[in-house]
Every structure is written in C-alpha cells, then in structure tokens.
Amino acid sequence: MDACQNGAVYNNDFMDDRTIVTAPDSLVDWHFLLPRYWPVWLGLGLMKLMASLPFRWQLALGGQTGRWLSKIARRRRRIAEINLELCFPTLSPIERSHLLEAHFTALGIGLFETAMAWWAPDDKLRGLARVAGAEHLTAALARGNGVLLLTGHFTMLELGARFITWHQPFHAMYRSHKNPLYERVMRRERERRSRLPPLPHEDIRGLLRAFKKGEAVWYAPDQNHGIRNSVFVPFFGVTACTVMATSRLAGLSGAAVVPYFPRRLPGAAGYEVVILPALSDFPSENIEADTQRINELLEHYIRQAPEQYLWVHRRFKTQPPGIPSPYQL
C-alpha cells in the first residue's frame, strides 16, 4: 500500500494556520432575496412541507422521487453503476441492476429523511427509531479526551445524526456547500439539532479544542478528497485513496473513536442506529493499517444494507500513477 503523496504520510498542510470563518446562523440577509435564490427558497419550502407528511407518505413519495432521479440524473446513475460493478463483482448483472434501482429509491427517500432531520419534531421521530449501544458513547466520553463519532455517507446521513443528538450533542465536521443560502440553512439546522456549532473540515484547531473540552465531533472519512493526507488502501477490494485523518486525529488528541451506523429498516418499520464500543488499540503505529481497518469496518456495515450507501460519489476517481480512473463518462 502506497502513500498517495510522494510516499509522505505526514505533512504540515494537515495543521492549517488559516483563520476559519464560518457562516452566521441568521437567514436575515438582503441578498438572499435576489432572484437567483428563489429556486433554493422554493426547494427549502418544499423540504419543510415534506417533513410534516406522514411517514408512509414520505416513503412512498421519496421512492417515486428516487425513480424519477434515476431517469434524469444519468451521469450520477452511471457513476453508481460503475461503483456497484467494482464493489459487487460476484453479483449477476440482473442483481446489480436491482441494487441500482433500490439505491435510487433510497436516495429519493433520503431527501425526505434530510427534511425530517432538520424540521420534524422529536415526538414524531422517537416512535420511528431505536438507538442501540448509547452506553458505549457515554463510556467513551467519560474518559475526558473527547470522542470522534465515526460513520459513513449513507443516504440517511442527516437523520442518523439527528438520532444521535438524543443522547449526546456534537460538532459536525462538514465541507462547505457552493450555494451560500443552502449552506447557511444547513449550518443553522444542524447546529439547532446537534446543540453545538458545526466545524468546517479544515478547522483542525477548532476540532482539537473541542476534544480538549471533552466534546464529541461527528466525522465521515469515506469520500475521495484527493491525494493530500491520504493513502491507497482497499475498499470493497478496490484500491481507494482514503484520508488518514481518523488515525491522525485520534493520535493528536487522545480522543476515542466511536463508530456508529444507521439504517432504514424494511417496509415502514422505522430506523435502527447501532453505536459500537470505542475502537481498541487505535491508533496503532501503522497509519495505513489503521486506515484500512476503518474501511473494513465501513464495508461490513454497508453490506448489511448496500442500497442505502451513497454510491453516486466517485469514490475511486483518484488512483496510483499510471492507473486510469474507472469513471470514463
């Protein structure tokens, strides 16, 4: 396994000295009234309406939305198709086709789940979800060095995080959205539910301060962000450029790494979130082995409900020198 940047596992870019400027939570900003933001306001209004619908309606309308997306989002459909071919080579073409359709159904439902995560009241959600293993999170926090809440990019990512807030407030690490209005709403609603401000992914100093105060930070390390601070390790048996931050942050801060995994149960049975015990013997002295360990853990839980993982992301776009990207679109 090779390091993704000239064989250097560590570099000074990881500790960024830049001042991090985060968006204010207020939506009172005159330029958001300009016509270019009207479609965003309309979409946000529809999402808020979606959050108020009965759960069975959300599932039905979300599924239909996903089937519609599969027909118009042809590029994303092709990316998901390639990912499934790479990650599930033993499935027959018909089985992968069914999995692809189920994935887009889950994506459509995920839009409604995001709306629920931001705007549905707790009394509506509590009857839909079961959180197992909250004692592991409590025990990890009791160590006093903070907790890195580790998960993956599932289609119900926002809603799964909302369920965690019932047991523990946390900061959410995030990448900025290109639309400033959506960015501000996302930050405001995440902070309102998680009860601690989100942290931009480059704000490493803010992250370490949170750990020093014994707080929890949400983090998902399973997307391809290029070769910087990454190594090539297998993911579903495929070479994947994977960020090393989980191991490095745990080593720098002493924070416990507590994985959790959400999934939507079959039919209208609701949701389940499984919180695992803090990883033992982590980090080790081998950062590549640590990174592969995280990938293997994610893979194990993705396989339990593969249609609910975010396959429309180009997870394998960065490859070692001389190996082309599998996404020839």
- pLDDT computed for residue 21 by the predictor: 36
pLDDT band of residue 11 (cuts 50, 70, 90) is very low
Q: Considering only residues 20 and 37, tell me which one the structure prediction assigns the higher pLDDT.
A: 37
Q: Considering only residues 257 and 35, tell me which one the structure prediction assigns the higher pLDDT.
A: 257
- What phi and psi, each to the nearest 5 degrees, are found at residue 319? -125, 160
Q: Which residues contact 90 (CB under 8 A, 6 or more apart)?
A: none
* Mean pLDDT (whole number) for 181-194: 89
- pLDDT computed for residue 28 by the predictor: 59
Per-residue exposure over 49-71, b if at least 16 CB sit within 10 Å of its own CB, e if not:
ebbebebeebbebbbebbeebbe
Quickly list DSSP for 293-307.
HHHHHHHHHHTTSGG
Residue whose C-alpha is closest to residue 110's, from 276, 296, 312, 316: 312
pLDDT band of residue 27 (cuts 50, 70, 90) is low
- What phi and psi, each to the nearest 5 degrees, are found at residue 224? -85, 115
pLDDT band of residue 22 (cuts 50, 70, 90) is very low
Encoding tokens for residue 309?
Answer: 């993982």
Contact (CB, 8 A) for 258 and 275: yes
Q: Which residues contact 158 (CB under 8 A, 6 or more apart)?
A: 113, 114, 117, 118, 190
Q: Would you say residue 17 has pLDDT above 70?
A: no
